[in-house]
């Protein structure tokens, strides 16, 4: 039996942080840690999903916490909606357009967030690093450490992650920031994501990695 998604208080942000779905991270570069200059990605957190998604309010609270951290740390945000005309706008309490450094807020019909509008926005970010894994046909592609929250874990989050990994990017999945209608689908998807090479972490752990130092004035 799958375990329920843990509800975390949005007050859990470390006090040392001044602060988004794609999020740039981490100040002390290590191969296993996310980079602070990489984007934060919010996948399809829309009004129509509020009722059917398991513990949706917990996912929203986690996303709000990460958005506050992103704002303080100057981390860019990439967000998408799935068929917005049918499934509604991004949840208003996330305040993507008015409060946070949202680079792109794209509507899509594809399940993956890896759509032309998002790809173009990433290429324009000054924080991108050359991608050492790029082939000659991908020579101009740059590498990001991408943090993902949103829904559904086994569909849009999974397919977005697979596309990012295929293009040489590193991906962090925030376990308390993703969900599905069926919680068992979520658990199977998280296992698959680990097997495919994504890093699965929690919002609390991620924010402390982003901050890096208790004395950081950021």
Domain annotation covers residue 162:
yes
Which ranges of 74-153 does DSSP label H, i.e. alpha helix? 84-87, 116-124
Which ranges of 147-218 does DSSP label H, i.e. alpha helix? 158-166, 183-196, 203-211
- Active site residue: 65, 108, 145, 163, which one? 108
Q: Tell me if 119 sits within 8 A of 146, measured CB to CB.
A: no
Tokens 């942000």 -> residue: 13
Q: Could you tell me the residue range of the domain that residue 109 belongs to?
A: 40-211
Domain annotation covers residue 16:
no
Domain annotation covers residue 190:
yes
CATH number of the domain encompassing residue 165: 3.40.50.850
Q: Whole-prediction pTM value?
A: 0.80
- Active site residue: 17, 43, 91, 156, which one? 156
Domain annotation covers residue 4:
no
- Active site residue: 17, 43, 44, 91, which one? 44
| pLDDT by residue, tens only, the chain of 218 residues | 444 444 333 344 443 332 334 444 333 334 466 656 557 899 999 999 999 999 999 999 999 999 998 888 888 899 999 999 999 999 999 998 776 678 899 999 999 999 999 999 888 776 555 555 554 334 356 788 899 999 999 999 999 999 999 999 999 999 999 999 999 999 999 999 999 999 999 999 999 888 877 765 44
List Cα–Cα distances, 130 to 124, 127, 168, 202, 203, in angstroms: 13, 10, 10, 27, 27
Structurally, how many domains does the chain consist of?
1
φ/ψ of residue 46, rounded to 5: -115, 160
Domain annotation covers residue 1:
no
Domain annotation covers residue 93:
yes
Domain annotation covers residue 12:
no
Domain annotation covers residue 63:
yes
Residue 148, SS3 per DSSP:
strand
108 is catalytic: yes
């Amino acid at each position: 039996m799958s375990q329920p998604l843990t509800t975390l208080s949005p007050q859990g942000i470390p006090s040392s942080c001044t602060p988004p779905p794609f999020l740039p991270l981490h100040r002390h570069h290590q191969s296993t840690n996310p980079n602070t200059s990489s984007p934060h990605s919010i996948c399809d957190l829309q009004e129509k999903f509020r009722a059917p998604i398991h513990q949706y309010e917990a996912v929203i609270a986690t996303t709000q916490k990460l958005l506050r951290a992103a704002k303080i740390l100057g981390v860019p945000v990439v967000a998408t909606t799935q068929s917005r005309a049918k499934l509604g706008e991004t949840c208003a309490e996330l305040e993507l357009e008015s409060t946070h450094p949202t680079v792109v807020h794209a509507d899509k019909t594809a399940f993956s967030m890896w759509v032309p509008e998002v790809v173009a926005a990433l290429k324009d970010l000054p924080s991108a690093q050359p991608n050492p894994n790029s082939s000659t046909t991908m020579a101009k592609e740059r590498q990001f450490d991408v943090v993902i929250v949103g829904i559904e874990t086994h569909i849009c989050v999974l397919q977005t992650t697979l596309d990012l990994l295929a293009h040489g990017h590193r991906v962090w999945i925030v376990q308390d920031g993703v969900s599905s209608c069926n919680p068992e689908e979520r658990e199977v998807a998280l296992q698959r994501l680990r097997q495919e090479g994504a890093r699965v972490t929690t919002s609390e752990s991620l924010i402390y990695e982003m901050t890096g130092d208790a004395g950081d004035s950021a």
